[in-house]
């Protein structure tokens, strides 16, 4: 233990200040305080921190920090400034900067080479295609073998039938293409809820295809609707779990479901949500024929 450390420790003990209390006051770690008392300054981060910690220690125990620091400097002269370290750091920074410059230069060269390569490939294929086909061949390729049955082209008449000439010199009429109209896609859309009835509109089809899958005990009534809105009962039944039923109608339909959560409803390939609670549900499927 050094003389300075002995004085600091003795003063601390006389004032009944523990290392934990001193750590709380100075915000210096306890092991650094112990190192100062033992004179083991190598444990501390550096000479700057040694002076700062000794000064804080002295102020905390009521000693004159200037006298304490003078005593420390007398017994521990200031070390020589480590200039080589600074020079080494500067050299390292210079080396890093040079490396970054070389990397940027190499990246720029690679980018320019890549652009030149792209232009070279485009020029090569363009020149090859241009030189590969003679002018005479180009003109013959653009000529169409199509002829018309017009006997007087200069008279201004419009040919009505296009034909092709065969290898034997015969004129063969072209078949007239037949266009098949694309049927509109079937759409099932929710339209409104009126008086507790969910209304769905079905378009793009002439038939209403209803598929029901029962997942629990459920009473269901299915009615066909006329154009005037009159109901024609198709089925009224208490279904059991696992039952299925289908209807293929040419008119709208009305469903009265006793337990909505027990029914999985599919209309023309589209799942219609009925509900996830065991409450009654009424659904009207309005078929709109085109």
pTM for this model (two decimals): 0.39
| Level-2 CATH architecture, domain 187-287 | Sandwich (2.60)
d(CA 198, CA 251): 17
Quick one: DSSP state of residue 153? G
Residue 81: its pLDDT value, please?
A: 46
- Mean per-residue pLDDT of the chain: 81
d(CA 64, CA 193): 90
CATH class of 3-75: mainly alpha
Is 191 or 172 the better-scoring residue by pLDDT?
191
Is 186 or 146 the better-scoring residue by pLDDT?
186
- Per domain, the residue ranges of the chain are 3-75, 83-124, 187-287
pLDDT, average across residues 118-137:
74
């Amino acid at each position: 233990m050094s003389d300075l450390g002995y004085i600091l420790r003795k003063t601390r003990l006389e004032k009944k200040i523990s290392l934990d209390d001193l750590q709380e006051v100075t915000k210096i770690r306890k092991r650094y305080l112990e190192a100062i008392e033992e004179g083991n300054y190598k444990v501390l981060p550096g000479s700057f921190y040694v002076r700062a910690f000794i000064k804080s220690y002295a102020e905390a125990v009521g000693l004159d920090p200037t006298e304490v620091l003078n005593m420390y400097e007398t017994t521990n002269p200031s070390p020589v400034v480590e200039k080589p370290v600074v020079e080494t750091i500067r050299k390292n920074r210079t080396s890093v900067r040079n490396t970054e410059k070389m990397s940027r230069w190499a990246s720029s060269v690679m980018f320019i080479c890549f652009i030149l390569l792209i232009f070279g490939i485009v020029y090569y294929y363009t020149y090859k295609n241009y030189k590969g086909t003679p002018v005479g061949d180009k003109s013959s390729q653009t000529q169409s073998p199509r002829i018309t049955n017009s006997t007087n082209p200069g008279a201004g008449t419009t040919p009505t039938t296009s034909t092709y000439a065969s290898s034997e010199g015969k004129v063969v009429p072209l078949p007239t293409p037949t266009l098949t109209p694309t049927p509109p896609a079937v759409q099932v859309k929710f339209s409104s809820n009126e008086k507790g009835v969910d209304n769905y509109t079905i378009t793009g089809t002439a038939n209403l295809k209803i598929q029901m899958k029962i997942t629990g005990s459920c009473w269901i009534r299915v009615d066909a609707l006329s154009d005037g809105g009159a109901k024609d009962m198709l089925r009224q039944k208490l279904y059991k779990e696992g039952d299925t039923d289908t209807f293929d109608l040419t008119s709208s339909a009305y469903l009265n479901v006793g337990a909505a959560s027990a029914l999985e409803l599919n209309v023309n390939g589209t799942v219609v949500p009925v509900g996830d609670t065991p409450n009654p549900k009424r659904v009207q499927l309005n078929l709109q024929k085109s």
